[in-house]
Amino acid sequence: MNWQDLLPAQARLVIAYCQAAAHRVRGDRGEIGIIGAIIMVVGFAVAAGVLVAAIEGKLRGWISKIPG
């Protein structure tokens, strides 16, 4: 007999769920996975494309103002 045997059935069930959940904890916290990496790469590519387009438009505007 241990101290958990003295608890009501509902309390023992909650403790059992907590213990089971503690054993399921995975050690890969912070890992983004393949899909996350693809999403990040696409996001950076879109951001770079927008930045290049903005700079290109600004440069074309400056060059068009040069006389001659």
Better-scored residue on pLDDT, 7 or 29: 7
- Residue from 68, 66, 64 nearest 56 by CA: 64
Over the stretch 8-45, which tens digit does the pLDDT of each residue have?
A: 888 888 888 888 887 776 666 667 788 888 999 999 99
Better-scored residue on pLDDT, 24 or 47: 47
User: Residue 22 is encoded by which pair of tokens?
Assistant: 């503690």
Output the CA torsion sign for 41, 42, 45, 46. Answer: negative
pTM equals 0.48
State the pLDDT at residue 27.
65
